[in-house]
Chain A
């Protein structure tokens, strides 16, 4: 193992060995195309259907509401463009803290003539409800608000937002990619119309995700041809990947409490240890966050540099969303929270997984201590 401690589970999680076991048989031997009517095809179709039920069960949805995609990004794209593209243009409300996978399609919709307004958050990364209510109107077609933020870990009250949106005739999309597998996620109880999921954030393989969609929503497919997924997403299904997703979803559902407790204990341990370190604070410390996520600000430091120093010590962490690594931009999430740019640049995100232990927390604390003690050295921000 060339990386001693992996603390970047929000970027991606290691494949659970039980998921690998479920997938491997589908990468060996002869398996049919699930659309074929012969036996190998039917067997593949049956396995696909089982996986669909497993994913649906994780989020209390119906199997028919599960549309498999090539990942969370594609699910977000399908949600936003599927609802809006080619429809009479109106307004879309999107929170200021959404992942690039939501903001990307939003940019595309703006190019198509849609009006998009950012829903602000407060300094604790929580949606400003008053602002939402002011912005809603008859011409708002869609509201998109992630259930849990990938950087700060802050959890939103999606149900309240969904209720509000519905009263104004707007649809609600929630990116539940970080939340699923860490918290109980209930598609029905949340009242969302569309919800994005990604397998590799919960111990499943990369390259597969799902959009959970209320079938009454008029969704325009983005990848057409072949009629798969009720005509909503064409293309031969990623059989092994989807089966892996199903298994990962099932394990996540069964082990949710155990995982929650383990992760929360690690997080609490880290946060306790950080209390005694001056110059390090936790973003949105006081509000409800994912049990595994701690985003810290290291005053006077460049977060990227801290990550590199941790890397040298065999610790993998992140300075914000993986997609932006090395881009030199401070986190848009932190900026939306009103954090000043310099401090935002100092952000380091720690996201625990089931493979981590209390020892890992101690090692991390020691490393941070060492790094922070070089305050006046080369690592400091100018």
Chain B
């Protein structure tokens, strides 16, 4: 629903699409293997992001989920980023520049803070890689028990 907020003059159609129908929102079921949790921001500051990366044994991001409290740009950036990270090595994901994405989308400088929060949440998740998470087995390896 595009409605009357006339987005065209402010943000791009892409941003609005990802705001109104964000991809990969939500969270993995509890107990799902290979999930790294990260968070950044705080509600009282207007923006809070909880990002989940599902990582394979060989360090690839298989899937993402997120929950977000924040402005339309924050929501859209989470959605766009979640699509971009899939299939990336975790190291690349950790270095992914949401700020560059924001610039490419033509977002004003004031909105870069939203991008930074999303980055922080991803890096917070990535930073937990070597702790007690059970990595997801690589997609090609399935262990069948006879």
Contact = CB atoms under 8 A, between A and B. Distances in A.
User: Would A and B touch once assembled, by the CB under 8 A criterion?
Assistant: yes
Interface of A: 37-40, 42-43, 46
B4 interface: yes
B5 A40 contact: no
A43 B3 CA distance: 14
Nearest to A45: B9
B5 A37 contact: yes
B101 to A, nearest CB: 24
B141 interface: no
13 contacts: A37-B5, A38-B4, A38-B5, A38-B6, A39-B3, A39-B4, A39-B5, A39-B6, A40-B4, A42-B6, A42-B9, A43-B6, A46-B9
A274 to B, nearest CB: 57
Contacts of B9: 42, 46
Contacts of A39: 3-6
Nearest to A32: B4
Contacts of A38: 4-6
Given A39-B4, A39-B6, 11 more contacts: A37-B5, A38-B4, A38-B5, A38-B6, A39-B3, A39-B5, A40-B4, A42-B6, A42-B9, A43-B6, A46-B9
Contacts of A37: 5
Interface string B1-33: 001111001000000000000000000000000
Interface residues of B, number: 5
A107 to B, nearest CB: 45
Contacts of B3: 39
Contacts of A42: 6, 9
A42 B10 CA distance: 10
A22 B86 CA distance: 53
* Residue with the greatest number of chain B CB neighbours at <10 A, chosen from A37, A42, A43: A42
Nearest to B9: A42
Nearest to A40: B4
B31 to A, nearest CB: 44
A167 to B, nearest CB: 41
A43 B4 CA distance: 10
A168 to B, nearest CB: 42
* Residue with the greatest number of chain B CB neighbours at <10 A, chosen from A38, A39, A43: A39
A2 B5 CA distance: 48
A179 B3 CA distance: 45
A43 B5 CA distance: 10
Contacts of B4: 38-40
A42 to B, nearest CB: 5
Q: 10 shortest A-B CB distances, which residue pairs?
A: A39-B4, A39-B6, A42-B6, A38-B4, A38-B5, A42-B9, A39-B5, A40-B4, A37-B5, A38-B6
A226 to B, nearest CB: 21
A40 B9 CA distance: 13
A250 B9 CA distance: 25
Nearest to B4: A39
A83 B70 CA distance: 43
B44 to A, nearest CB: 24
Contacts of A40: 4
Nearest to B8: A42
A40 B5 CA distance: 8
Nearest to B3: A39
Interface string B119-131: 0000000000000
B18 to A, nearest CB: 20
A42 B4 CA distance: 9
B111 to A, nearest CB: 15
A130 B4 CA distance: 61
A178 to B, nearest CB: 38
Contacts of B6: 38-39, 42-43
B71 to A, nearest CB: 12
Nearest to A43: B6
Nearest to A46: B9
A38 B9 CA distance: 11
A282 to B, nearest CB: 54
B15 to A, nearest CB: 15
Nearest to A41: B6
Contacts of A46: 9
A66 to B, nearest CB: 20
Contacts of B5: 37-39
